[in-house]
A and B are shown apart, each in its own frame.
Chain A
């Protein structure tokens, strides 16, 4: 003895009402799968470590108290650039005109 399909569908409908799920007997694609997905953006954007406190921040914070932090790495870098410039190996000057219009001066 088999149960008619209509009766089974009624049962499923009642079930859906009870448990507040969507009644979709034909299995139509409604795209709800997309809505159920979690957003991956925040996790992906947090991949690279962000810039935290720098020595310059420390200097700015403690300057009113009369304290000074030496930025050894930064000073070394500035010394290196100054030495290169003295040897004539520094970076070239920025052009005053944009690269597009060369013929104008």
Chain B
């Protein structure tokens, strides 16, 4: 959804459309998070009238899918791949291995014994 994309390209890593999309989803979620949490609070609060809670439920489900945290997926910052990404290094296992062998990742060393 291009309306969530930043007008000026602001990524400093490898970028393909999937990475750009994920980045805009992250930013959209960040912007909408207080609203989402407020609605979630209203829905979970059993002391509020049932009608208010139902309306809040409807509003939450009708928010744009880009504002949903479940849409966010960690992608590789070196190649944009979405699978086999090591969370600590934000890289796929192969890119991680390449960088580690080259010595570009501080504190990571190939084991040998």
Contacts and interface: CB of A to CB of B under 8 A. Distances in A.
Interface residues of A, number: 20
Nearest to A34: B41
A39 B10 CA distance: 23
Contact of A51 (B9, B44, B74): B9
Nearest to B30: A41
Given A47-B90, A48-B19, A39 B37 contact: yes
A59 to B, nearest CB: 18
Nearest to A52: B12
Closest A-B pairs by Cβ, 4 of them: A41-B30, A31-B44, A31-B45, A41-B33
Interface of B: 9-13, 19, 22-23, 26-27, 29-31, 33-34, 37, 40-47, 69, 72, 74, 77, 90
Interface string A56-97: 000000000000000000000000000000000000000000
A45 B12 contact: no
A81 to B, nearest CB: 18
A44 B37 contact: no
Interface of A: 28-31, 33-35, 37, 39-42, 44-45, 47-52
A40 B47 CA distance: 27
A29 B43 CA distance: 10
A44 B67 CA distance: 12
A82 B42 CA distance: 59
A42 B30 contact: yes
